[in-house]
Amino acid sequence: MKIECSDELEYCNDDDVLDLGDSFLCRLGRFKQEVITAIGEWLPGLINEKLKNKGIEVKYLVKSENPKRPTWCHANWREDVPCQILKINSSGWQKGKFRIKVSIEFELDKPENEPSESPLDDLRRIINETTS
């Protein structure tokens, strides 16, 4: 599983402080690391559990010391999962890898534009200039 951070988040300093509401302040670096750790620990098991409940078990063969007794492992989703796909109109199975990407994003709010001048302001300015 690949966890990516948005460009804006990468340009922030780990010592920058987040206000997460209800008077809870946290350093950005710590928050990012805890979120990444939580996703890495929690999400793979949840994915396998949800798939298994639907009758899908993702296992793959790994090399073992005893070639007569292959070892099957459940996908941990932290790494690419080797697989094959049989595409419509293809000549056969094609090998590949399946991966999950998670994106953590932070986006600064755009500053509110200053209120635009009223069209009447232009007329007032012209009138003031001609009467002065």
Q: What is the pLDDT of residues 16-42, one digit of tens each?
A: 998 888 878 999 999 999 999 999 889
SS3 state of residue 49: helix
In which domain, by residue range, is 81 found?
A: 2-109
Q: Is residue 115 part of a domain?
A: no
Q: Is residue 28 part of a domain?
A: yes
Q: Is residue 129 part of a domain?
A: no
Q: Is residue 126 part of a domain?
A: no
Write down the pTM of the prediction: 0.62
The rounded distance, in Å, linking the Cα atoms of 105 and 8 is: 8
Number of structural domains in the chain: 1
The rounded distance, in Å, linking the Cα atoms of 1 and 47 is: 11
Residues in CB range of 47: below 8 A, 6 or more apart: 75, 77, 100
Q: Is residue 123 part of a domain?
A: no
- Encode pLDDT of 48-107 as tens digits: 999 999 999 888 777 777 777 878 888 888 888 888 999 999 899 999 998 888 998 888
Residue at 41: amino acid letter: E
